[in-house]
Amino acid sequence: MSLEQKTALVTGGSRGIGREIALSLADNCAQVAILYAGRKDAADETVRELEKKNVKAMAVQCDVSDDAAVQAAFKQVKDAFGPIDILVNNAGITKDMLTLRMSAEDFAKVIAVNLNGAFHTIKACYRDFLKLGWGRILNISSVSGLMGNPGQANYASSKAGLIGLTKTVARELANRGVTVNAICPGFIETDMTGAMNEEVLSKAVAAVPMSRLGTPKDIAKAAAFLCSEDAGYITGAVLQVDGGMYM
Ligand code: NDP
């Protein structure tokens, strides 16, 4: 798997799964950019870790739900690193509440970040991918998007939507050397699951046939493969990395 000269961009690369994906892509890319929402300290830390791997790295603060901000951030990255070869849409948020009590604002906000955000970034690279005749797009969805999950009408809808987006763009770009895939993580140890209370978390683990939470590395290894040259005949795929939760 050789991507030596490639540039990768990972949204939500400051922490958790996105940071680990950025680091795993750094093993094979020359340049890695991350976008983050507001945690500059965490983003700077990721950049330092990337640089230790001898890649050029940069972090740009950008709310992916804001189309104009995304286009500006991509311009900044492309001015510094040239066209983006590998795009990983990982930025995501939750605002859980039973559907009856969920506000329209919280429903819309989660869709705006998790789903519209990926649409914005894909648009920002689409022409470059056509010109390059090569590309990798990877969208981080969730088992919630496949199974549904009580309290996550907004999140599960956004993640199911990402699967539709993945398959559509995969079809559009299939004969242009660009693959578009999705990973559906199960429960992964990050700040996102750290916010769950003990009881909910132990119920979650009980639902995993492998009886453990996943790690960001579990996702990053699958992500690195799907973004590699070796995965060139895989497109439109939805890969669960969930310890067997959804089968
Ligand atoms: P974290 O909460 O640990 O990190 C979220 C990342 O997204 C941070 O880098 C954050 O930036 C960034 N982010 C949040 N909102 C925005 C925004 N509006 N614009 C740009 N960046 C943003 O999440 P995880 O690592 O746990 O999750 C990563 C992805 O994996 C998400 O899409 C999530 O839905 C998905 N996933 C996670 C699972 C889990 O169990 N953890 C399970 C299934 C899917 P900042 O640091 O600046 O806040």
Domains of the chain with bracketed CATH: 7-240 (3.40.50.720)
Beta strands in 71-226 (DSSP E): 86-89, 135-140, 178-185
Residue 233 is among the residues annotated as catalytic for this protein? no
Residue 107's DSSP bridge partners are none
Which CA distances in Å does 19 have to 107, 132, 165, 229? Answer: 26, 26, 23, 21
The per-residue pLDDT for 4 is: 67
List the residue whose alpha carbon is closest to atom 18 of ligand 1. Answer: 63
Query: Which atom of ligand 1 is found nearest the CA of 65?
Result: 18
Q: Give Cα 124 distance to the centre of its chain.
A: 15
Catalytic, out of 36, 155, 233, 246: 155
Q: pTM for the whole thing?
A: 0.97
8 A C-beta contact, residue 196 and residue 185: no
The per-residue pLDDT for 192 is: 83
Which CA distances in Å does 74 have to 78, 123, 174? Answer: 6, 10, 23
Is the minimum distance from the CB of 243 to ligand 1 under 6 angstroms? no
pLDDT (tens, 9 = 90+) of the chain, 247 residues, equals 455 689 999 999 999 999 999 999 999 898 999 999 999 999 999 999 999 999 999 999 999 999 999 999 999 999 999 999 999 999 999 999 999 999 999 999 999 999 999 999 999 999 999 999 999 999 999 999 999 999 999 999 999 999 999 999 999 999 999 999 999 999 999 988 888 888 888 988 999 999 999 999 999 999 999 999 999 999 999 999 999 999 9
8 A C-beta contact, residue 20 and residue 14: no
